[in-house]
Amino acid sequence: MDMKAMPAEHPERRSLNAELHARPPEALPECARISFLALAESPTQPALAELCRLYGVEAPPEGASHASLVLGPFQLKWERHTEFARFKFILPVDPGEPPFSGTALAQVPAEWLAQLPGKIVSACHVEVRPVAEGPEDVEEIADRCFSGNALIGAEVSGGGANAFTDFRIREDGFTRILIQNRSMTARQRGRVVQRLVEIDAYCMMAMLTFPVARDLMASLSRFEGVLNEITNSMRITEKEEEPVLLDRLTLLHSDLVRENTASQFRFSAAKAYSGLVTFRMNELREVRIEGIQTFREFMARRMDPAMRTCEAAASRLRSVSESVSQATQLLQTRVDVTREMQNQSLLESMDKRARLQLRLQETVEGLSLAAITYYIVGLLGYAVAGIADLELLPVHKPVALLASIPIVLLGVALALRRARARMHR
């Protein structure tokens, strides 16, 4: 069918489809050694390019998130994740070599390893071997490969192999995993190894939140003490001291916001990583080996309590924040009521002053009425005197002035009243 006749593709369709097929597990030989490194805070692509240059191999393009390369005697699987990068060095070995008598990492140039950036969060040596013929004692495996430590393990992949580890970091900084293959194919071996090293890496990434939760618990105890002191003071404090308590609550709330901002990402990451650990363990399809803990039991006894502590710290942080917010709202309401009462008293005082000012103004208006009347009658006196001197009209000056006083007084009063009414309108 002609693609031109089809609707346009979504621009992200092919890249998202490629993401579904990214990071496939490697097909492992019957006998193999794998050295696994997970490095946090690590821009590792320049280091990967340098390693490719040493072996004359083309480096993956800039911005790539994974690569599978053959470098001399070993194969390298590199993956870049959000918080860490992973290196998996794979080396085929002779079946006659004892497990853990060497490492795949020994084939990597020491100078390059010394300059590798980042901080190790997980490091593991894995041995893949055929299962021994006849019964093999678990204690013998522990003595030969794990320094006699208590083992964690199970039949994995539905009984296709046995997997053992002790999850202990040795002097070289690596843990160990032994896989005894019974009937798995090369791809199945690769998937089992990938799941086991991912369990170790994701477990450590989840556990990075535990120190954060532990420190946060101590801070929250201090915050709760301050909050309890403030809420007790709210019951007995004077109104004048309420703004001081409100300032303390505001400062406490800012401290909680800072702690929440600093820890929220780690709590979310811990939840995501612990979920991945559970998912990977489900994929192992464990079958118990009598006498030793399974991977699921070990994680339930060791990692799950730490994750519950992290969840409790996050929940406690939310609870304290809500309590501080409620106390702040309550105290803010009290402060607002106090201010309203103060404003009401101020308004009453202003109203009283306004009434006094009005009375004073009315008094002044009365005096003004008399003064204006006096000046107008005075002016009328000059006019009456002029008329009397000219003998134009038979006017008696004192009588005329006496008669004009009530008329002028009434006219001035009406004029002032009209002006006051206009001003009120």
Summarised one tens digit per residue, pLDDT across range 126-160 is 999 998 776 678 888 999 999 999 999 999 998 89
Contact indicator for 338, 242 with CB cutoff of 8 Å: yes
End-to-end Cα, the chain, rounded Å: 86
Contact indicator for 414, 382 with CB cutoff of 8 Å: no
Mean pLDDT of all residues in 86-100: 92
What the block records as the tokens of 19 is 């993401």
Contact indicator for 136, 291 with CB cutoff of 8 Å: no
Mean pLDDT of all residues in 271-299: 92
What are the pLDDT digits (tens) for 377-415?
Answer: 777 776 766 666 666 556 566 766 666 777 777 777 777
The whole-angstrom separation of Cα 201 and Cα 123 is 8
Taking domain 209-345, whether its CATH number is 1.10.10 is answered by: no
Buried b or exposed e, range 114-132, using 16+ CB within 10 angstroms: eebebebbbbbbbbbbeee
Asked whether the predicted pLDDT for residue 27 surpasses 80, the reply is yes
Name residue 123's beta-bridge partners.
37
Structure-model confidence comparison of residues 11 and 190, the more confident one: 190
Mean pLDDT of all residues in 246-265: 88
Structure-model confidence comparison of residues 407 and 207, the more confident one: 207
CB neighbour class for 42 (10 Å; exposed up to 12, middle 13-18, buried from 19) = buried
Asked whether the predicted pLDDT for residue 336 surpasses 80, the reply is no
Of 9-18, 222-231, 269-278, 300-309, the range with the lowest mean pLDDT is: 9-18
What the block records as the tokens of 266 is 């780690």
Q: For 131-214, list the strands marked E by DSSP.
A: 152-156, 161-165, 175-181
The whole-angstrom separation of Cα 221 and Cα 359 is 63
Q: How many CB atoms lie within 10 A of CB 171?
A: 5
Find all residues with CB under 8 Å of 319, minimum gap 6, and list them.
none
Alpha helix locations (H) across 237-294?
A: 242-284
Q: CA angle at residue 346 from 342 to 349, to 5 degrees?
A: 140
Buried b or exposed e, range 356-394, using 16+ CB within 10 angstroms: eeeeeeeeeeeeeeeebbeebbeebeeebeeeeeeeeee
